[in-house]
Amino acid sequence: MEEIKYVERKNSNCNKWDEQTGMFGEENLHAMWVADMDFRVPQCVIAALENYVQFGVYGYYKIPQEYYTAFINWEKVHHELEVKKEWMRFSPGVVAGFHWLVQMLSNSGDAVIVNTPVYYPFLNAVKNNDRRLICSDLICEDGIYRIDYEDFEKKIIENQVKVFILCSPHNPAGRVWKKEELERLLAICKMHDVYIISDEIHHDLVFEDNEHIPSLSFKEYEDRMVMITAASKTFNLAGAQNSIVVIPDEKLREKWDKYTLGHRVIGGNAFGYIATQAAYEGGEEWLTGIKAQIYDNYLYLKKELSEKLPEVIVTPLEGTYLCWVDLKAYVSEENIKDMIQKKCRLAVDYGDWFGGERFGTHIRINLATSHENVKIAVDALVDNI
């Protein structure tokens, strides 16, 4: 198996370790935020990029057939999803993609619904585009989250919702949605003529017996659905800025093409295509090792916090490498940031970023790092809380 190599990233111009002031008002916090990894990427990616760098000419790049084939084969083998080349479009990141789709599939003032708590760029994509943000909170029971279908449908009807942004697997709740859960959600959307934007960027990062079900595996909903994913979370390639928008419906593809042409979006950079292709072609063994490291980190964090801070609620990690932790038994929403930063000296994603004050005693911890870094964070929480 390919060796998993931790990399000390301080002073490497990475947001996670070197750009904390904007989010936290200070630097030199122990970084457990930002969803990228502290691990060296697969050797196959490095080799492919080195080969291109040595070529020495970086002019306009023709996307090779092998790029499309690599993704198509990956989805078929790992997710039993049949994707066609003509369905694939480019976005310089999943966040940019769902911002564009919100604009494309709705008009100013229209309602867009999300399941909160949720990845905060979802909220920004709605508000930044002058749409009305409708939040349907997930139901949390003993730290396990499930969908409130009645509330979801009620709010769609009351607000004449036009678009639903689905997070699958769910960030930050760590849920890998079951087939029956997705079927019920999608049926509600179809009944009320709601478009679905499905963010599946974490779909390769699932653990134990959980299985990711691609939204596009439900063929009856293809005419109102777009899936966005990328190699960036799976293989630590966020800086390559390459994501894949999958649009099976011809009319929606025409809409996308018209929109992106009008904004002069014609493709990504060569390095992003090359890194993505190489990862999908040769990164499987590396991914197996990474997932084992992440899940070991989760089990350690859960065990230590359960024993030493027994009233902390650690949400079960079915998917993603992001652990959602509720500290409400020990700290108030008003005091949590002072506790985490001033006493624990940690940089984490705060719960209120994911949908408001009702999540204010939560923190999201990034587990895609060394065991030592996780231990430092856990010890800081235990010693100071």
* Residue 295 shares a structural domain with residue 261: no
302 and 266 housed in the same domain = no
For residues 94 and 152, give the distance between their C-alpha atoms in angstroms, rounded to a whole number. 24
Tens digit of each residue's pLDDT (9 = 90 or more) over 45-97: 999 999 999 999 999 999 999 999 999 999 999 999 999 999 999 999 999 99
Residues 6+ apart with CB under 8 A from 217: 79, 80, 81
User: Which of 237, 257, 282 is where one domain is finished?
Assistant: 282
Same domain membership, residue 139 and residue 257: yes
Residue 318: per-residue pLDDT: 99
Residue 244 lies in domain: 48-282
Instruction: Measure the CA–CA gap between 114 and 107, rounded to whole angstroms.
Output: 17
In this structure, are residues 165 and 199 in contact, taking their beta carbons and an 8 Å threshold?
Answer: yes
Domain-located, residue 63:
yes
Cis peptide before 42 (omega within 30 of 0): no
E strand spans, 78-171: 88-91, 111-116, 132-137, 139-141, 144-146, 161-167
- 85 close to 66: Cβ distance less than 8 angstroms: no
H helices within 230-338, ranges in order? 232-235, 250-262, 270-282, 284-308, 336-337
Q: Work out the pLDDT band at 320, boundaries 50, 70, 90.
A: very high
Verify that 151 and 76 share a domain, yes or no. yes
Say yes or no: 167 and 237 in one domain. Answer: yes
Q: Is residue 2 included in any domain, yes or no?
A: no
Same domain for 180 and 110, yes or no, is yes
Indicate which CATH number applies to the domain containing 87: 3.40.640.10
**pLDDT for 123:** 98
- Do 249 and 151 share a structural domain? yes
How confident is the model over 194-216, as a mean pLDDT? Answer: 99
Say if residue 310 is in the same domain as residue 205.
Answer: no
- Is the pLDDT at 197 greater than 90? The verdict is yes
Section 153-174 average pLDDT: 99
Q: Check residue 104 and give its pLDDT.
A: 97
Q: Is residue 300 part of a domain?
A: yes
User: What is the tally of structural domains in the chain?
Assistant: 2
User: Predicted confidence band at 171 (pLDDT cuts at 50, 70, 90)?
Assistant: very high
pLDDT at 48: 99
CATH code of the domain in which 291 resides:
3.90.1150.10
Mean pLDDT for the chain overall: 97
The answer to whether 138 touches 146, Cβ cutoff 8 Å, is: yes
Domain assignment present for 6: no
Question: Domain check: are 70 and 192 in the same one?
Answer: yes
* 64 in any annotated domain: yes
Give per-residue pLDDT as tens, 219-243: 999 999 999 999 999 999 999 999 9
pLDDT at 263: 86
Please choose, from the candidates 91, 65, 101, 125, the residue with its C-alpha nearest in 3D space to the C-alpha of residue 241.
91
Looking at the structure, do residues 169 and 293 belong to the same domain, yes or no? no
Query: What are the tokens at 126?
Result: 């709605």
Q: Does this model's pTM top 0.95?
A: yes
Per-residue model confidence (pLDDT) at position 267: 87
Phi/psi for 144 (5° steps) reads -105, 130
pLDDT digits 0-9 by tens, 273-318: 999 999 999 999 999 999 999 999 999 999 999 999 999 999 999 9
User: Which of these three, 228, 252, 282, is where a domain ends?
Assistant: 282
**Cβ-based burial of 94 (10 A; exposed 0-12, middle 13-18, buried ≥19):** buried
Same domain, 128 and 237: yes
Tell which of 253, 282, 311 closes a domain: 282
Whole-number Å distance between alpha carbons of 63 and 118: 34
Per-residue pLDDT, averaged over 358-381, amounts to 98
pLDDT on residue 133: 99
Report the pLDDT value the prediction gives residue 233, as an integer from 0 to 100: 99
pLDDT at 142 over 90: no
Residue 266's pLDDT is what?
80
Kindly state the average pLDDT of the residues 182-198.
Answer: 98
For residue 236, tell me if it sits in a domain.
yes
Instruction: State yes or no: pLDDT of 265 exceeds 90.
Output: no
- Residue 1 in any domain: the answer is no
Check whether residue 231 and residue 82 sit in a common domain: yes
Return the H-helix or E-strand segment holding 310. none
CB of 162 closer than 8 Å to CB of 112 = yes
Residue 248 forms part of a structural domain: yes
